[in-house]
Amino acid sequence: MTDSGFRLKGSVVTTVLLEIQTFSLDDIVFHLKEKIDQVPHFFNQAPIIIDISKMKRGIRIEEFETLIQSVSSLGLGVIGWRCDPENLPAWKSSVTIPLLPASKARSIDTSPVIKKEECPDVVVKTVIEERLVPQTTKVITKPIRSGQQVYSEGDLIVLTQVSAGAEVLADGNIHVYGALRGRALAGVKGDVEARIFCKSMEAELVSIAGNFMLSDTLQDIVWKESAQVLLVDDSLEIVPL
């Protein structure tokens, strides 16, 4: 799933995609809040696109405007909407947000890796737009303190620790030659080959190309040991080093 904890400089674009098949405002708000509560920093102030292309019935403009208000109240910024071009509503020109064409970006399911529960009527995804940029490596020699955020357009190498409450992000790989206690997000532009390496896995969250795993799950796999995180068939794997 763009706040102070996930605002990427340059051309990084991470957008939440809300696909609706059956309109139930309570269900939509419930599932959105469920996603946001899992990783608040991942979704806070994130741009969101509402997709009604797969709705089983039409949606009235009053319902659509109420939906926009409800989504905005959760801290997400509605930047546009999508609809089946052959079934556009009569009110399409009456809403203030733009009608967007079908996306060519790669969509990534942001459900937790271990427990994948998907409501058939409400699907929340993160869309990561992939762009070619020069690959550089950033080396950090000092500890990254709580509240700090470090981003690299290529690989990121941290020679010390990443404290709890800190966040490191990279378009490429992340190497932490100390304890990783904060959040680490590699391949933030959609690089599924990116990996995370650390000397001591104590992370709050690890993510590769939008697929994430939280500390509760990490503790059941590997904890306070050297490990690497990689993406295999759209699922994260944690491998001891």
Strand partners, 196: 174, 229
Mean pLDDT of 142-147: 92
Mean pLDDT of the region 34-46: 72
Across 14-18, 32-36, 118-122, 191-195, least confident range: 118-122
pLDDT reading at 229 higher than 90: yes
Given this model, what pLDDT does residue 44 score? 65
The residue extents of the domains of the chain are 14-128, 137-240
pLDDT reading at 115 higher than 80: no
> What is the residue-averaged pLDDT of the chain?
79
Strand order in the sheet with 174-180: 137-140, 155-158, 174-180, 196-201, 227-232, 235-240
pLDDT, residue 181, reads 95
Paired residues of 99 in beta bridges: 81
The arithmetic mean of pLDDT across residues 46-68, rounded, is: 85
User: Check: CATH 3.40.50.300 for 137-240?
Assistant: no
- The whole-number pLDDT of residue 111 equals 41
User: What pLDDT was estimated at residue 42?
Assistant: 67
Per-residue confidence band for 21, with pLDDT thresholds at 50, 70 and 90: confident
Full DSSP string of 93-147: TTSSSPBPPPP-SEEEE-S-SS-----SSEEEEEEE--------EEEE-S-B-TT
> Sheet harboring 122-128: ordered strands across?
77-82, 47-51, 14-20, 122-128, 106-109
Tell me which fold the domain 14-128 belongs to. Alpha-Beta Plaits (3.30.70)
pTM of the model: 0.50
Q: Which of 5-9, 51-55, 120-124 has the lowest mean pLDDT?
A: 5-9
Give mean pLDDT, residues 6-28. 64
* Residues in the chain, total: 241
Q: Is-same-fold flag (14-128; 137-240)?
A: no
